[in-house]
Amino acid sequence: MRELTWRKIFLALADAFFIAFGTLSTNFIFERFLPQYSLSFSRLIYIAFIDIIICFLVQYAIGSYSKAWRKFKLFDYGLCAAGMAIGQFITLMIFYALGKSPSKLFFLLNFIVITTGALLFRFAFKRTFITLTHAGKYQNNERTLIVGAGQAARMILNEIKSSKFDNSATSEIEVIGLVDDDAGKRHTKINGVKVLGTTREIPELAEAFEVEQIIFAIPSCNEKERKRILELCSETKCRIKVVPYLGDLIFDAEHTQLISQAADIKLEDLLGREPVSFDKKDIKNLVTGKICMVTGGGGSIGSELVRQIAKYSPERVIIVDIYENNAYEVQQEILMTYGDKVNIETLISSVRDYDKMEKIFMQYRPNLVFHAAAHKHVPLMEYVPEEAVKNNIVGTFNVAKLAQKYKADKFVMISTDKAVNPTNVMGCTKRVCEMIIEYMAQRSTGTEFVTTRFGNVLGSNGSVIPLFRRQIESGMPVTVTHPDIIRYFMTIPEAVSLVLEAGAMASGGEIFVLDMGEPVKIVNLAENLIRMYGKVPYQDVEIVFTGLRPGEKLYEELLMDEEGLKKTSNKKIFIGNQLKIEPDEFLKQLDELEALANSNESDKVVEKLAEMVPTFHHQTNEN
């Protein structure tokens, strides 16, 4: 039998009062309007006494008293009303059995009066108590729930307690409780703060205790559990802060507190895996003292490549991009960050222009070439396949041939999971680019040619996240193509680190594939992003399903059936086995494809792509 707390006793006494008051009030109404049905005072007391006992037993049995007043929701008010109804019915049956029952109308009116009183009391008591507890010393403090009741939570509570004596920012935090999935910790206290429940109760507790901020304080949590818990946190309207993974925590002269390292939740925290780590020593050995060229250096991937390369003291960084605004912004960022410590050149040029690219190679003689320049927008390329061929395929072949001609050490091309069994023009052109790198690797005696393949990059140009953000911020519905569409995701720094690590590992001809964890439903990504803005999906922000776009498929693949996987020294990076390219036939097909693209014959371009890539199954608007 569950322990009767003072709250349960208080609610039971309140119910007893309303039953007694209701019985007397009902009889008073009958005396005024239906005197023939009124009862004597002694009989009223008898009925009220039986009614109080029966209603108490029913309410206790169905759990109406087990819910703290703070947590009361619509369901709990309904449960209370149901308990009163069942109690009234049982009382009526008892008096029928005794042959002393008042009229049914008496019990019906009595039920209405006592139930109304009991529900109004619960609602008014909850609101009044919340108002009183918010008044006074905590009125300006941020009501906070801490996830985890381990050492990290203990440290945070100590920091908050200490900060109250020096008026630091953390003194504005009021920790209302903790949650932990360890059953042994439930209802215990850590530094005077109670463990209120488990992580599954986070949304309920956040609403009941009017939580404003949640601090995720389990730095050792595995990626699957981390994703599950953070998704529960994102269902609330609370601000969410996350203590970094154990390996990312810093304690030195500048970082003395754990709570200061807790950062706002980012969408990548919901990917369900730890960030991929890379051997920075290998990358440093690859880049230091080298002349590094990045084509498409102003784009989301290219610009991050430039940023990461700049960290490792290259001899020179060459940004090649056709779009001057992005290229200029990256150039200025590097100059402001490193000054004259990094020698950087920004060249507005197109990879389509072989002669112009040859002048660049002739002048700068790059040791490392990172080829990120490409048209990547799937639907747009469906309408102009010839432009995808000119930029992606011809541009890649131009740069690859020049890298070999001018004896670059390594050439690293950035590909996409859309190149695997492609259903769209963009993916198919990237598959042909992969074949070009295979062809070059088979023929090369000096330059090492390698491909890196990964899925969607969070926040990159053309990805769904910037679009979703713009839609939410402008008050528009969020558009998702299909409720079941899934994608693999990684962060921009992860993608670029993969490129650099692959460059360090490469011996020529490999396709490096990143283990990207479990795929993510795009609709779940949209819902979580909406919640991170403090809004409720489908209520504050509508999600509209627009249908698959031309060339788009429900899921992406990272490997073709024939490729298989080989392990590398990094457990998150694998190598796909590649097929041999028949050089004469391949070159002939490339020449024919380029001629068709230059003549702007869209349909024939698609036909030629399908001939070159047998796994290309072109999807149309029939999607």
Q: What value, to the nearest 5°, has the Cα angle with vertex 399 and ends 395 and 401?
A: 115
Which residues does 308 contact at the CB level (< 8 Å), separation at least 6? 283, 493, 496, 497, 500
Biggest alpha carbon–alpha carbon distance for the chain: 112
d(CA 275, CA 78) in angstroms, rounded, equals 46
Cα dihedral 435/436/438/441 (nearest 10): 180
For residue 176, give the H/E element and its range: strand 173-179
Q: What is the DSSP letter of 476?
A: P
d(CA 147, CA 163) in angstroms, rounded, equals 20
Q: Which is catalytic among the residues 418, 430, 553, 608? A: 418
| 418 catalytic residue (yes or no) | yes
Percent helix, strand, coil in the chain (nearest 5)?
50, 15, 35
For residue 348, give the H/E element and its range: strand 344-348
Kind of pairing between the strands at 291-295 and 489-491: unpaired
Locate 265 and state its tokens: 């939740």
Strand partners, 145: 177, 214
Which residues does 201 contact at the CB level (< 8 Å), separation at least 6? 179
Which residues does 57 contact at the CB level (< 8 Å), separation at least 6? 87
SS3 244: coil
Q: What is the DSSP letter of 390?
A: I
Q: Are 146 and 176 in contact (CB under 8 A)?
A: no
Angle between helices 324-338 and 300-310 in degrees, nearest 10: 20
d(CA 264, CA 595) in angstroms, rounded, equals 52
Taking CB atoms within 8 Å and a gap of at least 24, the contacts of 358-362 are: 358/402, 358/405, 360/293, 360/318, 360/320, 361/402, 361/403, 361/405, 361/406, 362/406
d(CA 31, CA 23) in angstroms, rounded, equals 12
Q: Are 517 and 271 in contact (CB under 8 A)?
A: yes
Which residues does 343 contact at the CB level (< 8 Å), separation at least 6? 314, 315, 316, 317
> Other CB atoms closer than 10 Å to residue 294's CB: what's the count?
29
Catalytic residue list: 418
